[in-house]
Structure 1
Amino acid sequence: MDLDSAGAKISMTRTREAELASSELGSQAHTAHGNPRRRLRVLIVALNYAPEITGNAPYTAGLATGLSDRGHQVRVLTGLPHYPQWRLAPGYEDREVHRREFIDSVPVSRLRHHIPTPPTGRGRIRMEASFGGRVAVTRWPSHDVLVCPVPGLLPTGLCVGRTKYRRRHAPVVTWVQDLYSLGVVETGFLSGRPARLTGALEGQILRNSDAVVAIHDSFKSHIVNNLGVRADAVEVIRNWTHLRPTELSDRNATRSRFGWRNDELIVLHAGNMGVKQGLENVVATAQLAAASHANVRFVLLGDGNQRSHLEQLGAGIPTLQFIRPLPTDDFRSAMAAADILLVNDRPGVGAMSMPSKLTSYFTTGNPVVAATEACSTTAYELAATGAGMVVPPDDPRALLDTLTRLAANGALRDTLARAGRQYSATVLSANHAIDRFETLLTRLTFQRNSAAQASKGTFHQ
C-alpha cells in the first residue's frame, strides 16, 4: 500500500542551514511575512483522529491542520473513528482495509483495526496491536519527521522500532497524552509484575524517541524521574482550547431546548463515560439531591463503555439526565447554558491523564467543580487557573454541599468563570502550542540533516 503522492523533493541548502543555525533553532519557523522558512514533511501516525470530538483526537487533528495551514506538508495515518462510543462511526462501515479521505485539506489514510465492544483491557490491547500491525507493514510517505500521539502505546512502539532500524531515519516525536504506567495501576487493570513490565515498555519507547512532548509538568516529572528519559529530551506543550468561546443570544431558550428549567441548578459533565471517570459518584449525588429535594439537575452528556451501566444505575432518579453526544455547536451551547461544569475521577485515579474536557470547560464562562484526588493533575490545574473548586472523589455529600454553596455565591461563580476564560485565552492558546511544535519539529529535522551531512563529509575524507 503506497501512501506517497507525487511531489518535488525538498533539500536544505547551505544558506538555509545557516539561516536556521543563526536562529538557534528555537525561534519561529516563519519569516516576517508568515511563510515557513522550510517546508517540513510531517507524518502523523495516530490511533485516534477527527471526526472524533473527545479525547486526544481534537488535538491531533488540530496539530495537523495548524501545521498544514502554515505551509507544511502533513500526512496522517490513523485508525477508524470509534471513540468514545466504542462503535464504528456512521459512514465508515465499509470493509476496506485502507481508506483515504481529506479532512480540513489534510490527506488522511485510515487503516481498519479491531474495535473492542465492550472495551475490556484485553480488547484494547488487541485494538492497539491490530492497528500497530497494519501500520508496521504499510508503506509510509516520505517524511522529515514523525509524530506519534499516545494513546496508543503499542503502535507508537512499533513506529519507533521500525524507524530506528533504518540507516538514515527521520526523527520520532512521541506525544504523551496518557501515561500507561500509571493508568494500568490507577484503573486496577494491572498490578505487580505486569504493571512493572508496562512501565518498562513505556520507558523503553520514550527513551528511544528523539523527543517526547508531555502535556503537563506533572507528566514530565514522571517521565523523567520514573521512566528514565533525559530531561532535555522532554518538552512540555500544553493541550489547547479547541472550541471557541460561546456567547448565547438566548440562554433561556437554549436551556428550554434541553429540558432545563431556568430556576434549577444545572451541573453538567461532558465527555467520556468510562471506568476512570467513576461516574457512579455522580449518580449517587443525584440520588442524594432528589432525596433532599435540592433544586439541582445532574446532566451526563456523552458516551462511553460505562453509559449503559450508569443508565441502569440511575433509572428513576428525577435529578439525573443523560444526553447523547451532540454536534459541536450544540455541544458548546449546552456547556455554556449550564451553571456548573463537573469533572469526576474514580478514587485513586488522577495522575495518569489530563481530562481534555477542562480545555473546553474554561471557554464557557462557567465555574468548574472537580471530584478528584487532591494530588491529581486536575486538582493541580484548577489550583493554577483559579477556575474551580476541588472535593474528594466518591463523596456524594461533599460534592452536593459544594455545588449548593457555589450556587448561592454568585460573586464566587463569576470570579471562577473569569479566571477560566483568562487562562484559556492566554496559556491555552492553539497558536502558541503549534508554534512550539513547529519549532521543535524544525529543530529536530535540522539536527538530523546536519548530522547526516557531517557523516557524509567524514566518509568522503
Structure 2
Amino acid sequence: MHDYLGHPFQAELSRELARRGHCVRHVYCSTIAVGQGKLQVGETDSDRLSITGMPRQGHRGSGPGTYGQDVGGLIRDFAPHVVISGNSPVPVQRHIQQTCAEWGIRFVYWLQDVYSARAPSGETGHHDEWERTARCEKATLLSSDAVVAIAEPFAAFVRQCGVPSENITVIENWAPLAEMECDSDDWAPARSDRSSGEHIFLYSGTLDDRHGADLLVRLAKACDARNSGVVYVVSEGTGRLALERARQLGIRRLQLYDFQPYDRVPSMFAAADVLLAGLSTAAGQMSVPSKVLAYLCAGRPVLAAIPSTNRAAQLLEETGAGLVVNPDDPDEYVAAAFALLADSARRQRMGEAGQQYARRAFAIEPIATRFEEVLVP
C-alpha cells in the first residue's frame, strides 16, 4: 500500500487488510507538510503490518522521480503480489507502475486526484509541463492492471483515457470513524475562546490555491467587523503563508496553527462550532476534499465553499450535514457562516446528521471487502 500523503483512512485500510491475514507494507512520504494519520504500528495491530515513511529529500537530485525510485526499491525488496498506490505526483505513480510491470507485480491505481485536470493559463512553459503531466497520467492509467476511482466523474475520466470499464471500480473515500469520534472538546489552543463563549470556525488540512484561503481571510475580517467569531486555521505551506500576511495587516480574529498530532485532531474538530472546507470551481470536478469526510465523524456542521457538482458537496446536501455555497461568492460564504452561528439548533441537527451518515457508511469491514475484490481478483 503506497499513499504518498500518509492520510488516515488509507492506513486504516492497511490495518484491516493485515488483520484479515494479508501481509501488508504501508508506505508514505515522511517529509511533506500535510496532516497525516496514525502511521506507527501499535500494540493492537497485526504482526503482518509494517509501516515505512520514506523521505522525499536527503540526497542530491531528489524530487518526485527520485522518491518514486526509492519506493520502487522497497517494492523489489518486499516482492508483493499487488501494489495499490495513490495520492501521488504523476512521476511517482509512473515509477511505481513501471517497477511493478518489470517485476510482474499487479498494480492498482487508486485515483484520488486528476492532476491533468488543472490546465494552466498563461505561460507556455507551464502549459508544456501540464501536457507532459497529462501524457504521463494517461499512460500510467492505461498500464495499470486496475483502477479504483473515488467518484463517478473520476471513473468517466479513466474511461475517456481508454481504460476498459471492467478494469475500473468506484469506491468512495471514507474516514476512520473509530479514530475520529471524540467525547472531549478540550483542545488546548481553543480553551480561552470556548471558556469565554466565543464561537469558533475551524479549517484544517491542505491549503493552497484550490482551497479558498481568500475566503478564510474574508470571514476573519467579517468576524473582526462584528466582534464575533474566531477563525482557526490549522495548516502549513503556501496557503498558510498567505494567511500570515493577512495577520500582519491587523486581522485580529484569525488564529493560525501548525498541523496537530493525530491524536489531538478529534478534540480539535469537536472544539469547533462550524467546520470549514473549500475547493475552487476549477478543481471541483477532479478533486474531492477528504477533510469533509473526517468532519462528518465529529458531529459538527460543515460550511463548504465547493462547486455543487462536487461529490463532497452532494454528500453534504444529501445528508443535511452542512451548507454548500458557491466558492466564487464570498458574500454568500460569510452570510452562511453567520447564519449557522445564529442557529444552534440547526447546527446540532446538521452535526448529528453527518455523524449518523458516517456511522452507516464508514464501517471498514465492507469497505475492505470491496478492496479485496479488486486487489485479489
The offset of 1:143, in angstroms, is 1.9
Partner residue in 2 for 1:70: 20
- 1:157/1:218 CA distance change after superposition, 3 Å: same
Alignment equivalent of 2:69, drawn from 106, 114, 133? 133
What's the secondary structure of 1:132's corresponding residue?
helix
- 1:219 alignment partner, one of 118, 138, 154: 154
Larger Rg: 1
Shift of 1:437: 1.0
Corresponding letter in the other structure for 1:240 = W
Residue identity matched to 2:247: G
CA distance in 1, matches of 2:290, 2:113: 11
1:34-82 CA-partner distances (Å, limit 9, x unpaired): xxxxxxxxxx244343xxxxxxx32332222211111111123443343
Structure 1 unaligned spans of 5+: 1-43, 50-56, 87-100, 117-124, 444-461
| Structure 2 Cα separation of the partners of residues 75 and 212 of structure 1 | 20
Q: Does 1:59 align with 2:9?
A: yes
- Structure-1 residue corresponding to 2:50: 107
CA separation in 2, counterparts of 1:400 and 1:294?
14
CA distance in 2, matches of 1:141, 1:255: 42
CA deviations over 1:181-219 (Å, ceiling 9, x no partner): 113549999865543442232121112111101122222
Q: Supply the AA of the counterpart residue of 2:68.
A: G
- Pick closer, same or farther for the CA change 1:341–1:137 going to 2, 3 Å: closer
Q: Which amino acid aligns with 1:180?
A: Y
Distance between the aligned counterparts of 1:188 and 1:234, measured in 2? 35
2:139 corresponds in structure 1 to 204
Residue 241 of structure 1 is aligned with which of 166, 171, 175?
175
| 1:400 alignment partner AA | V
Aligned with residue 150 of structure 1, among 83, 87, 94 = 87
Q: Does 1:272 align with 2:206?
A: yes
Question: What is the TM-score with the length of structure 1 in the denominator?
Answer: 0.71
Change in CA separation of 1:83 and 1:386 when aligned onto 2, cut-off 3 Å: same
How many corresponding residue pairs? 365
Structure 1 residue corresponding to 2:247, chosen from 314, 337, 362: 314
* Cross-structure match for 1:33: none
Q: Provide Cα deviations, 1:147-195, integer angstroms capped at 9, x if missing partner.
A: 12231322221222233244xx232111111111113549999865543
Partner of residue 284 from structure 2, selected from 350, 357, 375 = 350
State yes or no: 1:323 paired with 2:266: no
1:164 to 62, 86, 101: 101
Shift of 1:272: 1.8
AA matched with 1:47: Y
Deviations along 1:403-443, whole A, 9 cap, x unmatched? Answer: 11122223322222122112111122222221211222221
- Measure, in 1, the Cα distance between the counterparts of 2:267 and 2:347: 19
2:328 pairs with 1:401: no
Contact 1:267 1:340 in 2 (8 A): yes
Counterparts of 1:376 and 1:187 in 2: how far apart (Å)? 26
SS in 2 for 1:310: helix
One-letter code aligned to 1:301: V
Quick one: which amino acid aligns to residue 331 of structure 1?
V
User: Are the equivalent residues in 2 in contact too, given 1:203–1:229 (CA < 8 A)?
Assistant: no
Which segment drifts farther, 377-386 or 256-265? Answer: 256-265
Equivalent-residue separation in structure 1 for 2:254 and 2:25 (angstroms):
43
Percent identity reads 27
**Could you tell me whether the CA contact under 8 Å between 2:97 and 2:144 is conserved in 1?**
yes
Distance 1:190 1:238 in 2: 35
- CA 1:384–1:297 in 2, change beyond 3 Å: closer, same or farther? same
> Secondary structure in 1 aligned to 2:77?
coil
1:72 alignment partner, SS class: coil
RMSD, aligned α-carbons: 3.0
CA drift of 1:383 comes to 2.4
- 1:287 pairs with 221, 233, 240, which one? 221
Contact 2:119 2:127 in 1 (8 A): no
Q: Which structure features the higher share of helix residues?
A: 2
CA distance in 2, matches of 1:270, 1:438: 31
Distance 1:109 1:285, change over 3 A: closer
Structure 2, unaligned stretches of length 5 or more? none
2:215·2:333 contact (CA, 8 Å) conserved in 1? no
Using the size of structure 2 for normalisation, the TM-score is 0.86
1:435 is aligned to 369
